[in-house]
């Protein structure tokens, strides 16, 4: 006999998508976007689950571009060439202070929740309601990592980069589905390592070792 699912027959991942859809809708209302009132929440929930199921199962994670060092015949350095100034490093070689700082800044409850942080979403909705806008986000560090993968895949295609960063329900659903996947595949340490290696830190520096 198969395992029973709660939430009207939805899997945990689908329930998360449903929650996200309703949350994004609420955020849109707070931002003053015009939305049909009758049945809007129900349509959002149903629509997010359907979109969730239509997204390809596996996230494409292209190899991260790194800088290349050109050497002369004697092994001396001639030049460094790169489109992304990045050196990939293992988590064990990254300062624990840097690791803790990133988690504290980007997702203080990183080790306490899964791909999505319901408490963070509700807190952001509440704060935005009090502020009269939608300035505070609630993306987990895992979701931010997935978004960075989308941007890396787009590379120097400005249109594709803009699409990867577009604020839309569709992109958020896609981001969530793959965040659930990488949480299972990589675990917290793997996600943190990848995040620290892929993230843009400014001044053409990609990754903490740049």
pLDDT tens figures, 1-54: 444 444 456 566 665 555 555 555 444 434 443 444 444 445 455 555 666 677
User: What pLDDT does 107 receive?
Assistant: 94
Q: Which residue, among 176, 147, 144, 180, has the nearest Cα to 164 in the 3D structure? A: 147
Kindly state whether residue 154 falls inside one of the protein's structural domains: yes
Instruction: Assign residue 91 the CATH number of its domain.
Output: 1.10.3810.10
User: What pLDDT does 83 receive?
Assistant: 58
CB contact at 8 A, 43 and 51: no
Kindly state whether residue 26 falls inside one of the protein's structural domains: no
Kindly state whether residue 37 falls inside one of the protein's structural domains: no
Kindly state whether residue 38 falls inside one of the protein's structural domains: no
- Segment of 20-24, 83-87, 103-107 carrying the highest mean pLDDT: 103-107
115 vs 75, more confident = 115
Kindly state whether residue 44 falls inside one of the protein's structural domains: no
Q: Which domain holds residue 70?
A: 60-206
Kindly state whether residue 132 falls inside one of the protein's structural domains: yes
Domain count, the chain: 1
Kindly state whether residue 161 falls inside one of the protein's structural domains: yes
Cα–Cα distance between 175 and 192 in angstroms, integer?
16
70 vs 116, more confident = 116
Kindly state whether residue 41 falls inside one of the protein's structural domains: no
Judged by DSSP in three states, 206 sits in: strand
pTM: 0.70
């Amino acid at each position: 006999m198969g395992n029973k699912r709660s939430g009207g027959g939805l899997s945990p991942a689908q329930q998360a998508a449903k929650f996200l859809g309703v949350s994004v809708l609420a955020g849109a209302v707070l931002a003053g976007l015009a939305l049909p009132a009758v049945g809007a929440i129900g349509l959002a929930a149903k629509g997010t689950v359907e979109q969730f199921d239509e997204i390809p199962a596996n996230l494409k994670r292209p190899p991260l571009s790194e800088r290349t060092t050109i050497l002369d015949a004697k092994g001396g350095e001639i030049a460094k060439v790169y489109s992304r100034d990045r050196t990939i490093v293992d988590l064990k070689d990254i300062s624990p202070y840097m690791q803790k700082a990133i988690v504290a800044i980007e997702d203080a409850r990183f080790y306490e929740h899964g791909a999505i942080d319901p408490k963070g979403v509700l807190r952001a909705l509440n704060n935005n309601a009090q502020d009269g806008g939608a300035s505070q986000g609630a993306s987990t560090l895992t979701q931010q990592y997935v978004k960075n993968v989308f941007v890396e895949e787009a590379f120097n295609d400005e249109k594709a980069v803009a699409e990867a960063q577009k604020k839309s329900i569709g992109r958020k659903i896609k981001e969530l589905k793959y965040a659930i996947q990488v949480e299972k595949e990589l675990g917290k340490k793997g996600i943190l390592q990848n995040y620290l290696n892929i993230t843009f830190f400014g001044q053409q520096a990609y990754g903490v070792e740049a």
